[in-house]
Amino acid sequence: MKIINTIIKSALVVATVTTAVSAKDYSGAELYMLNEVQYGKFEARMQMAAVSGTVSSMFLYQNGSEQASAERWVEVDIEVLGKNPGSFQSNIITGKAGAQKTSEKHHQVNPATTQAFHTYGLEWTPNYVRWTVDGVEVRKTEGGQATELKGTQGLRFNLWSSEDPGWVGNFNPNDLPIFQFINWVKVYKYTPGQGENGSDFTLDWTDNFDTFDGSRWGKGDWTFDGNRVDLTDKNIYSKDGMLILALTRKGQEMFNGQVPVDNEQQQQPASSSSQQQQQPQSSASQPATVSSDSQQPQPQSSATQQQVNPNDPQQQNPVIDPNANIQPGDQQAIRKMRAQYQAEKGTNGFVNAKGARVKEAKNRYRVNFGI
C-alpha cells in the first residue's frame, strides 16, 4: 500500500492511497444534500444512534476540501461518539489539507441523544457559527475560525464505525444493528435582518421524509480506511414519516425495528416543499446543557417487527389512506413527492471520506484516527 499524500489532521486524518477495493464486514450510511449553499441555518429533529465504537453525525462540508490541491478546508460538525451518547462533539475544521485547524468541544445532552428526539441546529454566517439543541445555544464561535469558512457547504448525516477506540470506544458487533432517526430537516436562507421577527434567516424548505426525495438528497456509496463499514444506499430508509440511517452487519441491511415516536408537541407540515414556509414553534421540553463529563455509553436496542427493504418501492413510498383527512393541496404535494421518488438516480462511484467523487477508479482514501 502506497500512501500518496496526507490530507486531514484533527479527529481524523485522510490520505489518498492506491489499493484494491475490499468489502468490509459491516454496512453504514451517509445522507448528503445534493446542492451546497453559502451561509444559512440548518435544523434536524433526530434521535441519534450510539454504541461504543460508532459515530452518528450531522455536519456541513465543502466537497473537495480533503484534496491536496484544494484552496481551503471547510467543515462544521455535530458528532455523537459511541462511548458517550449523553453528549455530542462540536467542531470547526479550517485551514488547508495537511494543515488543518480544529476546535473540538463537548456538550451534554439530557435526555441522552439515543433516548429522545432533540432538535439540533447549526447557524453559519460570515461572522459566526452557532450550535443549538432544542433552541438553546450550546456554543457560538464569533470571528476567528468562523470567518475562515469560505465558499459553500452542503448538509450531511452519516452513521459509521471508527477503528480508533480512544476516540469512540471499543466496538462490539453484538451491539448491532443500530439506527439514527431523522424526523424532519429544515434549511434556511441567510437573509440578514429580513427573517421572521427581524432574524437573519428565512425558511427555504422543510423535508418531513414522508418519501425519499432523490432530487434533494443523495445516498452515500463508498468507504474509507479507518472506517470498519462500507457506506451503502441499502441502509437508508423512509418509514412512517422518518428517515432512517442504519449500521448493520454486511448482508443484513434491513430495518428490523419499530420507528420511535417523537413527542414533539408542534406537528410538522404534511409534505416536503422547496417553497418558503412559516417556521413552527419548536418544543424545547428537552433542553441541553454544556458539559462533557459523562462517559457511560447507552446501547440502542432494536425491536424485531416489520422489515423495510430499501429496494421495495412500495415500502419506500407508503400508501396514503383514502379515508384520511387530506386537503387538495396536500394530495398535490404527495403526488409531486412520489414523482420525485420515481426519478431518483443512483450515486454510485468512488468518492472520498466526505463524499467528493474520485476521478481515478483505483484511488481510495485512508482515514487514521487519534492523530
Q: Indicate if the pLDDT at residue 83 is higher than 60.
A: yes
Rounded Cα distance between 20 and 4, Å, is 15
Range of lowest pLDDT (39-43, 95-99, 120-124, 308-312): 308-312
Query: CB of 27 within 8 A of CB of 235?
Result: yes
Predicted local confidence at residue 79, as pLDDT: 98
pLDDT band at 69 (very low <50, low <70, confident <90, very high): confident
| Phi, psi of 190, deg, nearest 5 | -85, 110
pLDDT, tens digit, 9 for 90 and up, residues 326-371: 454 554 544 444 444 344 433 333 333 444 333 333 333 333 333 3
What does the pLDDT average to over 254-271?
Answer: 72
Which of 172-181, 303-312, 344-353 is the most confident on average? 172-181
Q: Indicate if the pLDDT at residue 14 is higher than 90.
A: no
Query: CB of 226 within 8 A of CB of 368?
Result: yes
Predicted local confidence at residue 234, as pLDDT: 96
Query: CB of 15 within 8 A of CB of 5?
Result: yes
pLDDT band at 280 (very low <50, low <70, confident <90, very high): very low
Query: CB of 247 within 8 A of CB of 178?
Result: yes
Residue with cell 463529563: 293
Q: Indicate if the pLDDT at residue 47 is higher than 90.
A: yes
Predicted local confidence at residue 29, as pLDDT: 97
What does the pLDDT average to over 119-129?
Answer: 98
Predicted local confidence at residue 22, as pLDDT: 53
Q: Is the pLDDT higher at 350 or at 41?
A: 41
Q: Is the pLDDT higher at 47 or at 66?
A: 47
| Phi, psi of 11, deg, nearest 5 | -70, -20
> Which three cell numbers, joined as nine digits, stand for 285?
421540553
Predicted local confidence at residue 93, as pLDDT: 94
pLDDT, tens digit, 9 for 90 and up, residues 101-112: 999 999 999 999
Predicted local confidence at residue 97, as pLDDT: 83
pLDDT, tens digit, 9 for 90 and up, residues 194-232: 999 999 999 999 999 999 999 999 999 988 778 999 999
pLDDT, tens digit, 9 for 90 and up, residues 186-204: 999 999 999 999 999 999 9
Does an H or E element contain 340, and which? helix 328-342
Catalytic residues: 75, 79
Average pLDDT, the chain: 76
Q: Is the pLDDT higher at 196 or at 23?
A: 196
Eight-state DSSP code of residue 128: E
Eight-state DSSP code of residue 257: S
Strands (E), the chain: 2-6, 12-18, 26-33, 40-47, 54-61, 75-81, 87-96, 99-102, 105-108, 118-124, 128-133, 136-142, 154-161, 178-190, 201-207, 217-219, 229-231, 236-239, 242-249, 363-369
Predicted local confidence at residue 309, as pLDDT: 52
Burial zone of 187 (CB within 10 Å; 0-12 exposed, 13-18 middle, 19+ buried):
buried
What does the pLDDT average to over 283-311?
Answer: 42
Q: One-letter amino acid identity for 345?
A: K
